[in-house]
Chains A and B, each alone.
Chain A
Amino acid sequence: LSAVKSAAVTGNVVPSCRREFSWWSSVQPAPRDPILGVTTAYLADTRPSKINVGVGAYRNNEGKPVVLECVREAEKRIGGRELMEYLPMGGSARFCELAVGLAYGEDTQVLKDKRVASIQALSGTGAVRLFAEFMKRFQPEAEAYLPLPTWSNHHNVFRDANVNQHTYRYYLASTRGLDFEGLKEDLKSAPNRSVILLHACAHNPTGVDPTPEQWKELSKLFKEKDHFPLFDMAYQGFASGDTQRDNQAIRIFLEDGHQLACAQSFAKSMGLYGQRIGCISIVCAEATEAATVKSQLEYIARPMYSSPPVHGSLLVTSILTDSDLKQLWFKEVKEMADRIIGMRVALRKNLEELGSKHSWEHITQQIGMFCYKTVAALSKLGALSARLVWKFIALKKHDSQYSTLYRNSCSCYMALLQFSRSCNNEIQ
Chain B
Amino acid sequence: MAVATDASRFHAVPMAPPDPILGVSEAFRADTSDLKLNLGVGAYRTEDLQPYVLNVVKKAEKLMLEKGENKEYLPIEGLAAFNKATAELLLGADNPVIKEGRIATVQGLSGTGSLRLAAAFIQRYLPGVKVLISSPTWGNHKNILNDAGVPWSEYRYFDPKTVGLDFDGMLADMKDAPNGSIILLHGCAHNPTGIDPTTEQWDIIADVIQEKEHIAFFDVAYQGFASGSLDEDANSVRRFAARGMELFVAQSYSKNLGLYAERIGATNVITTSPELALRIKSQLKRLARPMYSNPPVHGARIVANVVGDPALFDEWRAEMQLMAGRIKQVRQKLYDELVAKDKSGKDWSFILKQIGMFSFTGLSQSQSENMTNKWHVYMTKDGRISLAGLSSAKCGYLADAIIDSYYNVQ
**What is the interface of chain A, defined by CB distance below 8 A to chain B?**
1, 4-5, 7-8, 11, 13, 15-17, 19-31, 33, 36, 39-40, 55, 57, 65-67, 71-72, 75-76, 79-80, 82-89, 113, 122-126, 129, 133, 138-139, 153, 156-157, 159-161, 228, 257, 259, 267, 271-276, 282, 284-286, 289, 291-293, 295-296, 298-300, 302-312
Contact = CB atoms under 8 A, between A and B. Distances in A.
Interface in B102-134: 109-113, 116, 120, 125-126
A128 to B, nearest CB: 9
B276 interface: yes
B71 A272 contact: yes
A24 B8 contact: no
Given A24-B276, A29-B278, A88-B22, A286 B5 contact: yes
A30 B242 contact: no
A25 B53 CA distance: 43
B147 A293 contact: no
A19 B244 contact: yes
Interface string B204-235: 00000010010100000000000000000000
A27 B279 contact: yes
A21 B296 contact: no
B298 A298 contact: no
Contacts of B76: 33, 36
A223 B73 CA distance: 38
| Max count, chain A CB within 10 A of own CB: residue among B41, B94, B109, B278 | B109
B353 interface: no
Interface string B250-274: 0000100011111100000101110
Contacts of A40: 75
B110 A305 contact: yes
Given A302-B19, A303-B144, A129 B72 contact: no
A15 B240 CA distance: 10
Given A30-B285, A87-B261, A292-B15, A129 B61 contact: no
A274 B74 contact: yes
B116 A24 contact: no
B51 A85 contact: yes
B295 interface: yes
A304 B22 contact: no
A23 B109 contact: no
A21 B13 contact: no
A363 B3 CA distance: 42
Contacts of A16: 210, 243-244
B277 to A, nearest CB: 9
Interface stretch (B62-70, B340-348, B368-376): B62-70
B283 interface: yes
Contacts of B310: none
Given A40-B75, A273-B73, A293 B13 contact: yes
Interface size of B as a range: 35 or more
A66 B108 CA distance: 25
A20 B275 CA distance: 12
A299 B116 CA distance: 14
Given A274-B73, A303-B143, A307-B263, A23 B126 contact: yes
A3 to B, nearest CB: 11
Given A17-B244, A24-B271, A84 B113 contact: no
B95 A11 contact: yes
Contacts of B61: 79-80
A117 to B, nearest CB: 9
Interface stretch (B185-193, B286-294, B311-319, B354-362): B286-294
Nearest to A159: B290
Nearest to A83: B51
A303 B71 contact: no
A129 B295 CA distance: 15
A138 B110 CA distance: 28
9 contacts: A55-B73, A86-B260, A129-B291, A257-B1, A259-B3, A267-B73, A285-B11, A298-B19, A309-B261
A7 B242 contact: yes
B88 interface: no
A55 B94 CA distance: 37
Given A26-B125, A123-B292, A304 B112 contact: yes
A67 B246 CA distance: 42
Contacts of B273: 22
B68 A72 contact: yes
B5 A285 contact: yes
Given A67-B71, A300-B147, A311 B65 contact: no
A417 to B, nearest CB: 23
By Cβ-Cβ distance, the 6 closest A-B pairs, closest first, are: A15-B244, A274-B297, A285-B8, A310-B261, A305-B109, A122-B292
Contacts of A307: 22, 261, 263
A298 B70 contact: no
Interface string B27-45: 0000000000000010100
Contact of A292 (B10, B65, B116, B262): B10
B285 A33 contact: yes
Contacts of A160: 120, 287, 290-291
Contact of B210 (A17, A22, A66, A86): A17
B11 A289 contact: yes
Given A65-B72, A275-B296, A295-B15, A86 B116 contact: no
A273 B244 contact: no
B298 A311 contact: yes
B239 interface: yes
B146 interface: yes
Nearest to A33: B289
A5 B3 CA distance: 68
A4 B263 CA distance: 36
A303 B68 CA distance: 34
A84 B16 CA distance: 26
